[in-house]
Amino acid sequence: MALEVLKEIIVVVVVLVVVVVVVVVVVVVVSSSSIVVVVVVVVVVVVVVVVVVVVVVVVVVVVVVVVVVVEVLVVVVVDVIVEVVVEVVVAAVVVVVVVVVVVVVVVVVVVVVVVVVVVVVVVVVVVVVVVVVVVVVVVVVVVVVVVVVVEVVVVEVVVIVVVIFVEVVELVVVVVVVEVVVVVVVVVVVVVVVVVVVVVVVVVVVVVVVVVVVVVVVVVVVVVVVVVVVIVVVVVVLVVVVIVVVAVVVVVAAVVVVVVVVVVVVVVVVIVVVFEVVVVVVVVVVVVVVVVVVVVVVVVVVVVVVVVVVVVVRLVVVVVLAPGF
């Protein structure tokens, strides 16, 4: 659009200059019969036309060059900005995907570890309880058997001794009853003690195992949460830094483009103005010189004509009137 307007202005200026020049030439030719004046005016017109054409061509070339340079700069900068923005977006997406994958992998690993730990602890507890129960049962059986055997042997010995040395039936019965009661009491006490010890041991083991499992699970969960939070914070900081850097780069690029365009436009305007001033000065000087030359020529011609006329008149007067006097 700007180029079209500039072309129209140039065409109008050229047409006006040509019209003015033609009018001036016609007026001068009609008003003067001197060939020198006509030649001078023609030379002036040719010079003015050439100067105007050169100025128009220079202005058009400069404007076209400026427009092309600005368009190239704008296209290059826009391409660079678009490329940088696309790379940044791709990098941010890749970082986010990697972070998500890492977080998912960490969570899965932690869950698997917790499940494995819990299963192992439960298996260990079950095995310990079974072993303890088996041991207790074996101990109880062994103790009962030993006690019974010992008591039976003692009773038999006492009975034999009583029968041999005392031979009293009632005393034998009393001794047997006492020995049986003692055996029963001892067996009951031993069984109760063993059962209490087993229960206490099992309870302690279970409590310890549960506490250990809870502590392990809590520690693992806390570690996972901390790791996830740190990863998310790092990713957010990286994305923010990248966005800020890209924004700064884009702003700097835009400022550089604006500065370059402004500098180019200013330089072009200065060059055009200087050139126009020089051209105008030259044209004015040429016109002044031509006018002075024309005036001098006209004056000289007039003087010559006047001198010739005066001389002719005097000659006529001398030749015609002298004989009569």
pLDDT score at 240:
77
pLDDT score at 168:
54
* Its pTM surpasses 0.85: no
- Alpha-carbon dihedral of residues 208, 210, 216, 218, nearest 10 degrees? -130
For the stretch 186-219, pLDDT in tens is 777 777 777 787 778 777 877 877 787 778 778 8
Host H or E run for residue 249: helix 169-316
In the predicted structure, residue 239 carries a pLDDT above the cut 60: yes
Quickly tell me which residue has 């180029």 as its tokens: 3
For the stretch 23-64, pLDDT in tens is 566 655 555 555 666 666 667 667 766 776 677 677 777 777
The mean predicted confidence, pLDDT, of the chain is: 71
**How sure is the predictor about 161, in pLDDT bands with cuts at 50, 70 and 90?**
low
In the predicted structure, residue 230 carries a pLDDT above the cut 80: yes
Burial status of residue 312 (CB atoms within 10 A of its CB: 0-12, 13-18, 19 or more)? exposed
pLDDT score at 79:
79
Provide mean pLDDT across the span 263-281.
70
Handedness of CA 273, 275, 276, 278 (dihedral sign): positive
In the predicted structure, residue 171 carries a pLDDT above the cut 70: no
Q: Are 174 and 131 in contact (CB under 8 A)?
A: no
For the stretch 51-110, pLDDT in tens is 766 776 777 777 777 777 777 777 777 777 777 777 777 777 777 777 777 777 777 777
